[in-house]
Amino acid sequence: MKILLAEDGHDHARILLAVLSKNGFEVTWLQTGTEAYESLVANPAPDLLITDIMMPGMSGFELIARLKSENRMPPTIVLTGKQREEDILRGLEYGVLDYIVKPFSPSVLLAKVRNAIGRKAA
């Protein structure tokens, strides 16, 4: 299963790469929303997009809105430090499958990734 990770934080990305790779996922890590968008346009859709919200260039919300408006949005999980209720609701209104607030438990994140990919397969 292929996951596209849009995350500008190196520490969080290293944790995610280790956990997901160890559990059999093929992860492509990009550090900006712009890079993620370009990758999603140029390549086959991944099984899952995990995106931060606060990134240089294009924010995660801008990325999601653009993908949704172009009918290109893969199953998506938001992983961010933004924990205000209005941010969570905004993400869910865009149609993301889950909204995870940092700091996160790697085992809970892995369970949510498996659940999201399972929904796609169903």
Helices 33-42 and 60-69, axial angle in degrees (round to 10): 30
Average pLDDT (81-107) is 93
73-95 in b/e form (b: 16+ CB < 10 A) is: bbbbbbbbebeeeebbebbeebe
Q: Inform me whether the pLDDT recorded for 122 exceeds 50.
A: no
What are the start-end ranges of the H helices in the chain? 10-22, 33-42, 60-69, 85-93, 106-121
Architecture of domain 29-106: 3-Layer(aba) Sandwich (3.40)
Check residue 121 and give its pLDDT: 56
What residue segments make up the domains of the chain, in order of their start?
29-106
Average pLDDT (86-96) is 94
